[in-house]
Amino acid sequence: MTKLSKEYWEKRYIDNSTSWDLGEPSTPIKEYIDQLKYKDSKILIPGAGNAHEANYLFENGFKNIYILDIAPSPLEYAKKRINLPSSHFIQQDYFKYSELYDIIFEQTFFCALEPRFRESYVKKTHTLLKDGGCLIGVLFNFENKLDGPPFGGSVKEYTSLFEPFFDIIMMRPCYNSVPTRKGKELFIKLIKKNNGN
Ligand SMILES: C[S@@+](CC[C@H](N)C(=O)[O-])C[C@H]1O[C@@H](n2cnc3c(N)ncnc32)[C@H](O)[C@@H]1O
């Protein structure tokens, strides 16, 4: 059980208490997307919320994208703006979902989970990726394990969490965060290890 349940998140959307929502795609992810040439990759955005990154992908020719969230309201909002088949909008608990993707984008979903679920996040993300698949995105690099969300962490902690399951291609401070997140984000590019340990 977690207090950060579907009901908790849905209420945050209904109350319009969504301080995490940038109202646009996060710049580190946007600029990463701008470099991607292959547009057919199968992409998952978990804990997508109002799905600004998915919208940006869609506007830039990516159509094999799937938007997942536990809360119904943001998905309904995303459906109205992003012209994808309804099967691309998945209202489900990430930890109960199964499918296979080339890329998973991380944007303030990991930090929204209680820290005790981090190992499960790493293992679940590993199982949702195809061989050679990547987890790309941003993680917060400040300490706060108690009164989140957002819950933070450090390179040291994230390295020991992810390294058994992923090759860490990049995990370094973002140079292109939005002003309110400057100095607080790490950009990550992690490639699934085939053996999982
Ligand atoms: C802090 S918000 C971030 C939303 C979005 N990524 C953004 O940056 O605007 C965290 C999101 O994760 C979703 N979420 C929380 N727990 C989840 C779970 N177990 N499975 C899927 N989504 C979940 C919430 O409903 C919420 O939309």
Every domain of the chain and the residues it spans: 25-175
Give 125-155 pLDDT, tens digit per residue: 999 999 999 999 999 999 888 888 999 999 9
Put the strands of the sheet holding 101-107 in their side by side order: 89-91, 65-69, 43-46, 101-107, 129-140, 185-192, 166-173
Taking a C-beta distance cutoff of 8 angstroms, is the pair 190, 169 a contact?
yes
Give 162-197 pLDDT, tens digit per residue: 999 999 999 999 999 999 999 999 999 999 998 755
CA 64 to ligand 1 center in whole angstroms:
20
CA 194 to ligand 1 center in whole angstroms:
27
Please give the Cα distance from 4 to 79 (Å, whole number): 24
Contacts of 38 (CB under 8 A, 6+ apart): none
- State how beta strands 129-140 and 185-192 pair: antiparallel
Please give the Cα distance from 42 to 192 (Å, whole number): 15
CA nearest ligand 1 atom 14, residue? 47
Residue to substitute in 5, 7, 9 for testing ligand 1 pocket (most ligand atoms within 8 angstroms of CB): 9
Higher local confidence (pLDDT), 143 or 82: 82
CA 109 to ligand 1 center in whole angstroms:
5
Asked if the 25-175 domain carries CATH number 3.20.20.70, the reply is no
